[in-house]
Structure 1
Amino acid sequence: MPYFRTPAHLALLPLLAASFASGCQQTAAPAPEAVFPYQETGIAELQARMTAGELDSTTLTEAYLGRIALLDHAGPTLRSVVEINPDARREAAQRDAERRAGRVRGPLHGMPILLKDNIGATPMHNTAGSLALKDFRPERDAFLVQRLRQAGAVILGKTNLSEWANFRSPRSTSGWSAVGGQTRNPYALDHNPCGSSSGSAVAVAASLAAAAVGTETDGSIVCPAAVNGIVGFKPTVGLVSRDGIIPLSFSQDTAGPMARTVADAALLLGAMAGRDEADPATAATPGRAVYDYGARLHGDALRGARIGVLRNALSDHPAIRPVLDQAVATLRAAGATVVETRLVNEDAWARDELTVLLHEFKAGLERYFREWRTPVDSLDAVIAFNRAHASRELAFFGQELLEQARDSGSLNDPAYIAARANARRLAGPEGIDATLRADRLDALVAATSGPAWLTALGDGDGYPDGNYGAAAVAGYPSLSVPMGHANGLPLGLLFMGGAWSDARLLELGHTYEQLTRARRPPTFASGRTPP
């Protein structure tokens, strides 16, 4: 999905009804997942089975690999996984040997995890979906991958994404890359999975791994989480290192967990988070971060909380309003005080955000190219590569944003410096913080986004906007939890808070999730197969 929003997005809201109706008309496909023994199984339960000797990592890894072959590369052809780690079986066997020797590294020990294909992990490629990087293999793991491996996780493979994290063209289609093709929504195969962490969300929804890691600059974790019926958490920028991740914006980029439950997301986040000298943003975390997020979860976190529910054109849409109203009723029944409010400065940062992204994308990407010795060495080289391979790279949409970024100024440009300061101020201190302060709120909630839309390669996204832009621009945390469905298409409830409120949002989201149990497994409803 695009990283910036304009008033034109609001004009798309009436199109939601057509998307809902087409979702209703899908024909359910046979359910191969019914015989899968680990469908919807959480990390704690998988770990308990391993502790009891009923399961080992090798068996679990083989099961997920078989399911990927059945559902992702054949059957519904989800196209969420673009590469299998050739060392996955060996890693699983090592974790099993450690367990037999009495060494269990933690709750992720032996758990197969997928990574978005902009996160470096040896010995696999790291492409950002671009053919220009199809032969690029980083020489070392990204810092967060080092952390996951230290925690005992098995790196299962890489997931598809919107090419260049969806910062290529205003008319791009979410979930499409030249490397991986078009990822399909498992609830309605001809609908879109949102992006840019499309493959990670779809793979988790379809139980192709225990959990996955995505990245977000503006909506790229929480939007695909919402439309694929899973949990997605975007941490405070600086909680998780960006070292080894192909960048878009150092002001807004972060990796985050994508899972079927808040508890699983909390376990994954705890393993990923940590100070890293290679990422100065993580220097803000000592003394403020809580890495054992799973231990903080309990079922009564909403009692006594003050929650602000955001009302706007998206939340008030007739197809979304009843589901959101039910969510608000659940919050109140759990003991929360709910205040209806509107976000101060809503979308006032959008123009400045685009200026920031154009400048930071160029600077960050070219630095990555130099430091990691990639096959291309500049943004101009990427643009030239795409033109030379237009039949595959430019078949459905152009590269206008790449060209705008190439032509942007340096990070010393006064226009960039002013835009960065304005965007963060309007979204953060004068946006989310001001709204929280006005009514003494613990968190804000809203519909994460509209439901999935029909995929139409060449026509851009029929994207119905979202409520996560302020948290993204401010660098604050946001959490999307399954809220319900509209004609079979999932909707998410977004929790947002101030900087470093990560643990609190997870507590609130976990309690809400336990009360509603709104997640349903995907149906793989039939539809046309996109290219």
Structure 2
Amino acid sequence: MVNAVIAVDPTAAEQARKVDTARRRAPGLLQGKPVLIKDNIETAGPLPTTAGSLALKANVTGRDAPLVARLRGAGAVILGKTNLSEWANIRSNNSISGWSAVGGQTRNPYALDRNPCGSSSGSGAAVAAGIVDYAVGTETDGSITCPASINGIVGMKPTVGLVSRTHIVPISASQDTAGPMTRTVRQAAEMLRAMAGSDPADPATKDADAHLAEFAAGLDAKALGGKRIGVMRFASGFGTDPLFSAALDVLRAQGATLVEIKEFDDKDIGANEFAVLMTELKAGMNAYLATTPAAVSSRTLADLIAFNKAHPERELALFDQSLFEKAEATKGLSDPDYIKARQVSFTKAGPEGIDRLLKDNGVIALVGPTMPTSWKIDAVHGDQISGGGAGSLAAVAGYPHLTVPMGLVKGLPVGLSFIGPKWSDAMILNLGYAYEQARGPVEGPKFLPSIEQSDAIAPLLRKP
């Protein structure tokens, strides 16, 4: 129905037996908890890591990504792999989020004709649908927080460098990270602690161990008291305003002082970020493919482009590969234009973006609506997104971003974003937890064929 899971690990039952035996000796933080892994992250065992592409159907590497090994070490049972927007939504601007050639279309549990967002579509939909409470997503810009918001769950994009990216199909060395997608903030905190840590193979994580914390143990339902928080009015709108206002009232009632931030000039970020992603995609993909088994015939980005052209009936029937082609035309990591683009995009999003907004307004964190509500799946026109969301600043800067469900707009969920400076992951989880505890329950999905068939809306569409 939801089509969130791309493959079930046949070793899951044996994993569970081993975990049950180990429980008696030293129970782990996620002891016995089933976890689903986005299918651009490698897991040891018989399952391939496909990134949703037929080109990687033979990519059985026999190795765990370090974050997966850490989850196993915490007692988790790896249940299988989740569907995703193919190649984590970096192949085309005309894509359909939640679709891959390997997995087909993932659907939103709140309304099955609605999009689950991406690229961590299956991870978001699986948690929302109640298949698991814990799933792993990855994000370059919005790929954890958008599907978390749109599927009504918690999603945490950590500081880039807190979680290893080794053995994850890459897009951007500057912006990529994995993170937890869960039902509650406490579960996200537990999972992040299990996943995080330094990895010698990923230089970005050299300081990760210094910033580890017992994230779940430190959660405090009164954490909002006396805190000054900036309200990102420049990111608000797209039909969420009444619910956002109610969320702000909850923050105030918990003792937070809210500071209105009406404007932010982000004109220098988008184009420069795009140049960075295209250049790093080619470099990272070529390096990753070189490590795959010999059975994977595509060894470079150019090979992937050729593969898609050779299999147009499945790979190119719905949308093109124009972004792959743009990336292939880039000149490499030593290109002065790339180096300048990264410097500008990071500076404008980080030091002159989030850091300046915090300092100039005397606040410790920023809040805003994460994304608009879900749009309908559209195989003709692709994604029809009606707003940009709150998270691009955090994505480009590499800073932490947590989304927590706010409630429903006409039966569809939306999230509240908490964003902070680099390495403020523990604080951001704490603020989100305090909001979650004060907010009250949010209605879960009903797996409606469409929102238009809901009891609230269907009568309004009929002739009186």
Q: Supply the distance in 2 between the matched residues of 1:458 and 1:160 (Cα, whole angstroms).
A: 21
- 1:72 corresponds in structure 2 to none
- 1:348 corresponds in structure 2 to 268
Among 230, 236, 257, the alignment partner of 1:315 is 236
Alignment of 1:144 with 2:94, yes or no, is no
- 1:222 corresponds in structure 2 to 145
Cα offsets for 1:189-244 (capped at 9, x unmatched): 00000000000000001111131000000000000000000000000000000011
Q: Supply the distance in 2 between the matched residues of 1:476 and 1:423 (Cα, whole angstroms).
A: 13
TM-score, normalising length: structure 2: 0.95
User: Does the 8 Å CA contact 1:347/1:470 hold for their aligned counterparts?
Assistant: no
Cα offsets for 1:219-273 (capped at 9, x unmatched): 0000000000000000000000001100000000000000000000000000000
Q: Supply the distance in 2 between the matched residues of 1:511 and 1:254 (Cα, whole angstroms).
A: 25
Alignment of 1:450 with 2:368, yes or no, is no
Alignment of 1:157 with 2:83, yes or no, is no
- 1:430 corresponds in structure 2 to 352
Cα distance, 1:347 vs. partner? Answer: 4.7
Stretch of structure 1 that moved more, 455-464 or 243-252: 455-464
Among 511, 521, 525, the alignment partner of 2:444 is 521
Give the residue type in structure 1 aligned to 2:144: I
Q: Supply the distance in 2 between the matched residues of 1:432 and 1:93 (Cα, whole angstroms).
A: 46
Percent identical pairs in the alignment equals 52
- 1:239 corresponds in structure 2 to 162
Alignment of 1:94 with 2:14, yes or no, is no
Shift of the 277–208 alpha-carbon distance from structure 1 to 2, 3 Å rule, reads same
- 2:110 corresponds in structure 1 to 187
Secondary structure, in 3 states, of the residue corresponding to 2:216?
helix
Give the residue type in structure 2 aligned to 1:346: D
- 2:175 corresponds in structure 1 to 252
- 2:462 corresponds in structure 1 to none
Give the residue type in structure 1 aligned to 2:420: G
Q: Supply the distance in 2 between the matched residues of 1:368 and 1:343 (Cα, whole angstroms).
A: 40
Which runs of 4 or more aligned residues in structure 1 lie more than 4 Å from their structure 2 counterparts after TM superposition?
none
Among 310, 328, 334, the alignment partner of 2:248 is 328
Cα offsets for 1:77-106 (capped at 9, x unmatched): 11100000110000001111223xx22332
Q: Supply the distance in 1 between the matched residues of 2:228 and 2:365 (Cα, whole angstroms).
A: 7
Q: Supply the distance in 2 between the matched residues of 1:286 and 1:342 (Cα, whole angstroms).
A: 37
Alignment of 1:414 with 2:336, yes or no, is yes
Cα distance, 1:320 vs. partner? Answer: 1.1
User: Does the 8 Å CA contact 2:163/2:208 hold for their aligned counterparts?
Assistant: no
- 1:74 corresponds in structure 2 to none
Q: Supply the distance in 2 between the matched residues of 1:519 and 1:195 (Cα, whole angstroms).
A: 22
Cα offsets for 1:422-480 (capped at 9, x unmatched): 00000000000000001111100000000000010131111122110000000000000
User: Does the 8 Å CA contact 1:436/1:442 hold for their aligned counterparts?
Assistant: yes
Cα distance, 1:519 vs. partner? Answer: 2.9
TM-score, normalising length: structure 1: 0.83
Secondary structure, in 3 states, of the residue corresponding to 1:430?
helix
Question: Where do 5+ consecutive residues of structure 1 fail to align?
Answer: 1-76
Secondary structure, in 3 states, of the residue corresponding to 2:434?
helix
User: Does the 8 Å CA contact 1:173/1:458 hold for their aligned counterparts?
Assistant: no
Give the residue type in structure 1 aligned to 2:43: A
Q: Supply the distance in 2 between the matched residues of 1:517 and 1:389 (Cα, whole angstroms).
A: 49
Alignment of 1:402 with 2:324, yes or no, is yes
Q: Supply the distance in 2 between the matched residues of 1:347 and 1:129 (Cα, whole angstroms).
A: 33
Secondary structure, in 3 states, of the residue corresponding to 1:419?
helix
Alignment of 1:285 with 2:205, yes or no, is no
User: Does the 8 Å CA contact 1:344/1:432 hold for their aligned counterparts?
Assistant: no
- Please tell me the root mean square deviation across aligned C-alpha atoms, in Å: 1.2
